[in-house]
Amino acid sequence: MGKTQKGLGSKGLGRGLSALIAQSPVEKTSSDNILEIDIKKIYPNENQPRKYFKAPEIEELAASIKEFGIIQPLVVKKTGDKYIIVAGERRFRAATQAGLKKLPVILREYSDLEILGIALIENIQREDLNPIEEANCYKRLADEFGMTQGEIAKKIGKSRSHISNCMRVLKLDDTILDLISSEKISMGHAKAILAVECPDFQLELANRVVDEGLNVRQTEELSRTKPTGQAKKAAKPLKKTYDHFTKDFGSFFGTKVAIKDNKKGGGKIEINYSSTADLERIMEIIKK
């Protein structure tokens, strides 16, 4: 299938993705062989659209894996002496935390473009993504695969207006996107904020939603008024940006991470670990 990567337009890609996702990439077929691979040779896919994995969910799955093992093999692609995860990063993170030395995998031959397409579609269909990750998936399907919003909607079974509204949210300031990702404001709030043209006023509204607990209707009403100047307070946007880094680091290490500002332009990152084995797991991630 790797030969189809060159010159893929929206039509060619549509057919390619249809063939790829007609069968789930994690579904085992009679032609698949399950291999036992050293976990140190398995690596996450850098293009994985899901960036945030909730630590409690990983811990719960790790406890289950300790008791029952890995029930469903990971799907991987061999690149040199490494095995890149096509499907199953959540299981990989939990297995690493559980201290497993080897993992069952199904080896598949996909091009890098096909792996990206599978990861995007699979995550969207399983609803594992927060609204911003979902919106970025749609944007990548449009930018990198040449798919129209109508084609994306048909492929994943959602309305075209849903795709359009999700992608529009990406026009907002990164600080507001962080608030959406962390579920401090909803997509309903985001749509109301999008009705405002002034970026400073958008930020002010987002901060007021968080600080005052405004509902969507109240936010819509305020979007038709004039800004009060609250958005020009620099400290609050800076703190929200740290929320984004904290979530990314926590997702990457599979544990709680804190970022502490020293008010001089620097600071420190604190990574929590629950045991010596967990510390060793984190060290292996850093080494990789």
* Among 157, 135, 139, CA closest to 148: 139
Contact 199, 173 (CB under 8 A): yes
Q: What is the H or E stretch that residue 172 is in? A: none
Q: How far apart are CA 153 and CA 138, in angstroms?
A: 9
The total number of residues written for the chain in this structure: 288
Q: How many C-beta neighbours within 10 Å does residue 109 have?
A: 9
Q: What is the DSSP letter of 28?
A: -
Strands (E), 40-176: 42-43, 74-79, 82-87, 102-107
Residue in 27, 36, 46, 89 annotated catalytic: 89
Residue 101 burial class via C-beta count within 10 angstroms: exposed 0-12, middle 13-18, buried 19 and up: exposed
183 part of the active site: no
- Supply the residues annotated as catalytic: 89
